[in-house]
Amino acid sequence: MRYTDPDLKYCPQCDEEYREEIVVCVSCNVDLITGSEKLAMEEEEKARKAARSMDISSADELANIRKGPLADMKHLKNVLAAENIPSVIAGEKSSCGKGCCGGELYLQIRVADGNAAMEVLANEFKRTTALDSHDLSNVHAVFDTGAAESTCPACGCTFGTTSSTCPDCGLCF
């Protein structure tokens, strides 16, 4: 975590730092917050994480959020634990539950921790796949053969739909 200067401004979405006279983030087009506001939000987040119980009781309703091999589930369990989100690894009924029998295991969390856990895992996915350093602004673009032009969801190139391949990056539709 980097140092937050109370006299500077910060983007609440991308966390970029700006001089105090700038009011809108260039990348996200959202209003900036002051360093003091950012520090207060960080303290509030720390307190919220610290208040979370790491114990899962038999009365807690659990939800499966991932399925995979033992090593992957252990890694994600550690990622969640670093954010004070408790989880358990459970086997399928046909599995021995240790991950050695070839069966896949489930990572389970309390239903109440669902939103926080999914945000943490989404950030981990972005970090480990380097998606956080790519422009994802066109990711929802759809190739429509009925339209005259289309935007490539991979690179953002606009091209005529007479071609089924993006002329810039080569993505096939």
| For residue 32, pLDDT beyond 90 | yes
Give pLDDT tens digits for 45-83: 888 888 888 888 889 999 999 999 999 999 999 999 999
Is residue 60 within 8 A of residue 113, CB to CB? The reply is no
33-63: burial string, b at 16+ Cβ within 10 Å, e else? bbbeebeeeeeeeeeeeeeeeeeeeeebebe
Domain residue spans in the chain?
9-51, 62-132, 135-173
CATH number for 62-132 (one of 3.90.1150.10, 3.40.50.300, 3.30.565.10, 3.30.70.1530): it is 3.30.70.1530
Nearest Cα residue to 81 out of 112, 42, 121, 28:
121
